[in-house]
Amino acid sequence: MADKPWYQRTNDDIFKTLDTDEQGLSAEQVTDRRTQYGENRLSAKKQSSLLAKFAAQFKDFMIIVLIVAAVIAGATGELVDAIIILAVVILNAVFGVFQESKAEEAINSLKEMAAPMAHVERNGETKTVKSDELVPGDIVFLEAGDIVPADIRLLTANAMKVEESALTGESVPVQKQANVLEAADLPLGDRSNMAYMNANVTTGRGTGVVVGIGMQTEVGRIAGMLDQAEETKTPLQENLTQLGKWLTVLILAIAVLVFVIGMLRGQETMIDMLLTAISLAVAAIPEGLPAIVTVTLALGTQRMAKRHALIRKLPAVETLGSTDIIASDKTGTLTQNKMTVEQIYENGQLTPARNAAVTMSDPLALAMVLNNDGKPDGDTLIGDPTETALIQYYLDRKAPALATIKAHPRVAEIPFDSERKLMSTFNQNHDQQITQYVKGAPDQLLKRVTRIADRGQVRTITDEDRQHILTTNHELATQALRVLAFAYQPVDEVPSDLTSETAEQNLIFIGLIGMIDPERPEVAQAVAEAQSAGIRPIMITGDHKDTAKAIAIRLGILTDTPKADNAVITGAELDQLSDETFTKQVGQYAVYARVAPEHKVRIVHAWQKQGKVVAMTGDGVNDAPALKTADIGVGMGITGTEVSKGASDMVLADDNFSTIVVAVEEGRKVFSNIQKSLQYLLSANIGEVLTLFVMTLLGWQILAPVQILWINLVTDTFPAIALGLEPAEPDIMKRKPRGRASNFFSGGVFANVGYQGLLEGVMTLFVYWLAVTFPVHTSPEMMHADALTMAFATLGLIQLFHAFNSKTIHQSIFKVGLFRNKAFNWAILAAFILLAVTIIVPGLNGIFHLTQLNGLQWGVVLGAGVAMILIVEVVKWVQRMTGKA
In a domain, 308, yes or no: no
In whole angstroms, what is the distance from residue 30 CA to residue 872 CA? 80
Boundary-marking domain end, from 626, 641, 661: 661
Is 122 in the same domain as 190?
A: yes
CB atoms within 10 A of CB 576: 11
pLDDT at residue 423 in the model:
93
The total domain count for the chain is 5
CATH number at residue 525: 3.40.50.1000
pLDDT at residue 698 in the model:
80
Phi, psi of 760 (to 5 degrees): -60, -45
Instruction: Specify which residues 434 forms β-bridges with.
Output: 428, 491
In whole angstroms, what is the distance from residue 45 CA to residue 260 CA? 53
- Characterize the bridge pairing of strands 200-212 and 151-163: antiparallel
Range of the structural domain that residue 25 is part of:
6-44+110-228
In whole angstroms, what is the distance from residue 322 CA to residue 880 CA? 23
What is the DSSP code string of 189-224?
Answer: GG-TTEE-TT-EEEEEEEEEEEEE-GGGSHHHHHHH
pLDDT at residue 78 in the model:
60
- Cα distances from 798 to residues 28, 70, 437, 701, 854, in angstroms, run 85, 26, 84, 20, 18
Is 657 in the same domain as 669?
A: no
**322 with 430: CB under 8 angstroms?**
no
- DSSP annotation of 731 reads T
In whole angstroms, what is the distance from residue 863 CA to residue 883 CA? 30
Is 119 in the same domain as 82?
A: no
Residues 6 or more apart whose Cβ sits within 8 Å of residue 36 = none
State the sign of the Cα–Cα–Cα–Cα dihedral 221, 591, 188, 481: positive
- Characterize the bridge pairing of strands 632-636 and 650-652: parallel
Phi-psi category of residue 849: left, alpha or beta, with phi > 0 → left and psi -120 to 50 → alpha: left
Of 471, 475, 469, 420, nearest to 448 by C-alpha is 420
Instruction: Specify which residues 508 forms β-bridges with.
Output: 451, 488
Instruction: Specify which residues 299 forms β-bridges with.
Output: none
Is 224 in the same domain as 288?
A: no
CATH number at residue 171: 2.70.150.10
In whole angstroms, what is the distance from residue 754 CA to residue 749 CA? 9
In whole angstroms, what is the distance from residue 231 CA to residue 233 CA? 6
In whole angstroms, what is the distance from residue 148 CA to residue 218 CA? 12
Residue type, 479: Q
In whole angstroms, what is the distance from residue 16 CA to residue 26 CA? 15
Is 84 in the same domain as 141?
A: no
| Mean pLDDT of each 10-residue bin along the chain, 885 residues long | 80 92 92 91 65 69 63 66 66 60 46 64 89 92 86 91 75 84 84 88 89 88 67 61 72 78 73 68 65 72 80 74 87 82 94 91 95 85 88 94 94 86 93 94 94 94 95 88 94 90 94 91 89 92 83 89 85 91 93 84 92 86 81 82 75 84 86 86 86 80 73 79 82 79 76 91 93 82 86 92 90 81 89 90 82 90 94 92 77
pLDDT at residue 106 in the model:
41
Boundary-marking domain end, from 483, 516, 549: 516
Residues in the chain: 885
In whole angstroms, what is the distance from residue 21 CA to residue 418 CA? 26
In whole angstroms, what is the distance from residue 798 CA to residue 683 CA? 11
- Characterize the bridge pairing of strands 457-460 and 309-311: unpaired
Residue type, 484: L
pLDDT at residue 673 in the model:
86
Residue type, 255: A
In a domain, 310, yes or no: no
pLDDT at residue 114 in the model:
43
pLDDT at residue 626 in the model:
84
Residue 716 among the catalytic residues: no
Q: CA-based angle 43:49:51, to the nearest 5?
A: 165
Boundary-marking domain end, from 516, 545, 576: 516
Residue type, 173: P
Phi, psi of 544 (to 5 degrees): -70, 160
In a domain, 728, yes or no: yes
Angle at which helix 545-555 crosses helix 523-532, to 10 degrees, equals 70
CB atoms within 10 A of CB 467: 10
CB atoms within 10 A of CB 501: 8
pLDDT at residue 188 in the model:
82
Phi, psi of 452 (to 5 degrees): -140, 140
In a domain, 96, yes or no: yes
Of 785, 790, 792, 831, nearest to 708 by C-alpha is 792
Residue 816 in 3-state DSSP? helix
CB atoms within 10 A of CB 728: 14
Of 227, 329, 465, 786, catalytic? 329
Is 36 in the same domain as 180?
A: yes
In whole angstroms, what is the distance from residue 235 CA to residue 742 CA? 8
- DSSP annotation of 131 reads G
Residue 431 in 3-state DSSP? coil
Is 696 in the same domain as 764?
A: yes
In whole angstroms, what is the distance from residue 372 CA to residue 508 CA? 18
Sheet holding 309-311, edge to edge: 309-311, 650-652, 632-636, 614-618, 325-329, 536-540, 591-593, 568-570
Cα 670 to chain centroid distance, Å, stands at 17
In a domain, 263, yes or no: yes
Is 710 in the same domain as 834?
A: yes
Is 508 in the same domain as 530?
A: no
In whole angstroms, what is the distance from residue 294 CA to residue 66 CA? 15
Residues 6 or more apart whose Cβ sits within 8 Å of residue 848 = 704, 706, 707, 710, 792, 838, 839
* Range list of β-strands (E), 682-749: none
In whole angstroms, what is the distance from residue 810 CA to residue 819 CA? 18
Is 214 in the same domain as 117?
A: yes
Residues 6 or more apart whose Cβ sits within 8 Å of residue 69 = 85, 281, 282, 285, 287
CB atoms within 10 A of CB 379: 5
Is 631 in the same domain as 499?
A: no
In a domain, 396, yes or no: yes
Residue type, 74: G
Q: pTM score, two decimals?
A: 0.66
Residue 53 in 3-state DSSP? helix
Of 372, 400, 377, nearest to 388 by C-alpha is 372
CATH number at residue 470: 3.40.1110.10
pLDDT at residue 103 in the model:
41
CATH number at residue 246: 1.20.1110.10
Cα 552 to chain centroid distance, Å, stands at 19
What is the DSSP code string of 464-503?
Answer: HHHHHHHHHHHHHHHTT-EEEEEEEEEESS--SS--HHHH
Is 139 in the same domain as 197?
A: yes
In whole angstroms, what is the distance from residue 427 CA to residue 431 CA? 11
